Amino acid sequence: MTSAVDETGGRELSAARFSVSEGAGALVLRLAGAWTTRTLGAVSTQLAAALAPSPPKVCFDLSELSAMDSAGAWTLHRTQQALIAQGGAVTLQGASAKAEALLQTVASHDMAQTPEPAPPNPLIALTERLGRGAVDAALEARDLTAFLGHTNIVLAKSLLRPSRIRFTALVSQMEQSGLNALPIVGLISFLVGLVLAYQGADQLSRFGAQIFTVNLVAIGVLREMGILLTAIIVAGRSGSAYTAQIGTMQVNEEIDALRTIGLDPMEVLVMPRVLGLVIVMPLLTFYADIMGILGGGVMVTMTLDMSATQFLRQLADSARIDDFWVGIIKAPLFAFIIAMVGCFEGMRVSRSAESVGRQTTRAVVEAIFLVIVLDAIFSIFFSVIGF
């Protein structure tokens, strides 16, 4: 921690030693020799034995010290603190300026003597957390907006020059994000349609209007539930995968390697994922609509004593083509948001596995939040224009 204090002018150092005497109502310990790591030996044990039991007053005389380093200073400081803790009074005399400075340095680094900080004011702590969260959110929004602009520029260049699009990677991403997602999307949509029909029939039966359960299922699934469920599932499934894949490449320095060989990570990694998800999202939404209506139809025919023909006739009367397009129009934009957020958080991963997990969680939360906010904006907009 600190270099040795040498009082001998560079001569050979003698072993650390001390002597004990009585004087002026206090026990006087005269330290002599070199109190350094190399020469301390067993003197610390002997010093503790000489001070047991603890005397009421102790004076340490350092006038005969030839050298002292941090080890010697720590031994002396520790002995002083032990005496003070037992109620004794400790004084120093004969210490040189260098020795005093070294002792003060050791005392300042004694963690046992560092007072615990006062507990923060709860109101101030809450305000600080809110302020830090607001600043972090603003910085996140700024970086996400910049990444959105960069993505749009690269996407425009790729569309203007289709030869730059990596179709093999594009088809692979379409398979992983679209085809492989069919089972979970279909199952969730079917069950939600079934639950929606059951709850709707239960409430409408109080008014003798069970027939309108078909209307509830058709409009609810086509306009909102189909696209919203698909987007949430895709955000949790594909958006998190994008972040984890790109983040792992960031940890392994593979993205740096791409830049080194002259490849743009935006074209190689981001564009296939964004384009692939934008292409398959409307198809997944259409599939979710079919499965949701099918689930509602199964429940209606089982609980309302309605035949499949009657269900289809009521479905044709209640659902408009506009309801179908409301959900399909949202799909590409939701897909773009989910893919962009997933890739953005993947690019922000630092060189640790912990960062991969943290950014993956952020990607899912941000994507779902943005999807729901955007869906609310769309709902208000379509309501205003009467679509």
Question: Residue 38 sits in a domain of what CATH number?
Answer: 3.30.750.24
Query: Among 53-62, 203-212, 315-324, 358-367, where is mean pLDDT lowest?
Result: 53-62
What pLDDT shows up at residue 1? 44
In a domain, 45, yes or no: yes
Is residue 339 domain-shared with residue 219, that is, in the same domain?
Answer: yes
Asked if the structure places residue 144 within a domain, the reply is yes
| 247, 329, 359, 377 from 236: Cα distances, Å | 16, 21, 13, 22
**Confidence category of residue 117, pLDDT binned at 50, 70, 90:** low
Please tell me the distance from the alpha carbon of residue 343 to that of residue 245, in angstroms, as a whole number: 9
Q: Please indicate whether residue 199 or residue 116 has the higher confidence score (pLDDT).
A: 199
> Are residue 271 and residue 315 in the same domain, yes or no?
yes
The two tokens of residue 286 are 């259409």
Residue 212 counted as domain residue: yes
pLDDT score at 10:
47
Backbone angles phi and psi of 147, in degrees to 5: -65, -35
Phi first, then psi: give them for residue 5, nearest 5 degrees: -95, 115
Same domain, 106 and 171: no
Residues 6+ apart with CB under 8 A from 149: none
Q: Is residue 379 part of a domain?
A: yes
In a domain, 128, yes or no: no
pLDDT digits over 275-307, tens only?
Answer: 999 999 999 999 999 999 999 888 888 888 788
- The answer on 98 and 242 residing in a single domain is no
| Inter-residue contact 29 to 19 (CB < 8 Å) | yes
334 in the same domain as 378: yes
Q: Hey, what are 160's tokens?
A: 């203007």
Residue 124 belongs to a domain = no
SS3 46: helix
The verdict on 103 and 176 lying in the same domain is no
Question: Do 184 and 331 have their domain in common?
Answer: yes
What is the full DSSP assignment across 143-177? HHHHHHHHHHHHHHHHHHSGGGS-HHHHHHHHHHH
Q: Which of 113, 146, 168 is the last residue of a domain?
A: 113
Give me 73's structure tokens: 């200073």
Question: What mean pLDDT comes out for the span 375-382?
Answer: 90
Rounded to 5 degrees, φ, ψ at 230 are: -60, -45
In a domain, 121, yes or no: no
Residues 288 and 193 in one domain: yes
Residues 156 and 294 in one domain: yes
Q: DSSP letters along 248-306, please?
A: HHHHTTHHHHHHHTT--HIIIIIHHHHHHHHHHHHHHHHHHHHHHHHHHHHHHHHHS--
| Co-location of 171 and 237 in the same domain | yes
Residues 371 and 322 in one domain: yes
| The total number of structural domains that make up the chain | 2
Taking the whole predicted model, whether its pTM rises above 0.85 is answered as: no
| Structural domain boundaries enclosing 310 | 138-385
E-strand spans in the chain?
Answer: 5-6, 17-23, 26-35, 57-68, 89-93
Are 37 and 73 in the same domain?
A: yes
Q: Out of 1-15, 123-137, 296-310, 338-352, pick the least confident.
A: 1-15
Between 81 and 280, the more confident residue is: 280
Last residue of a domain, one of 63, 97, 113: 113
Q: Each residue of 212-263: pLDDT tens digit?
A: 888 888 888 998 889 999 999 999 999 999 999 999 998 888 888 988 898 8
Per-residue pLDDT for 2 more than 60? Answer: no
Q: Is residue 295 part of a domain?
A: yes
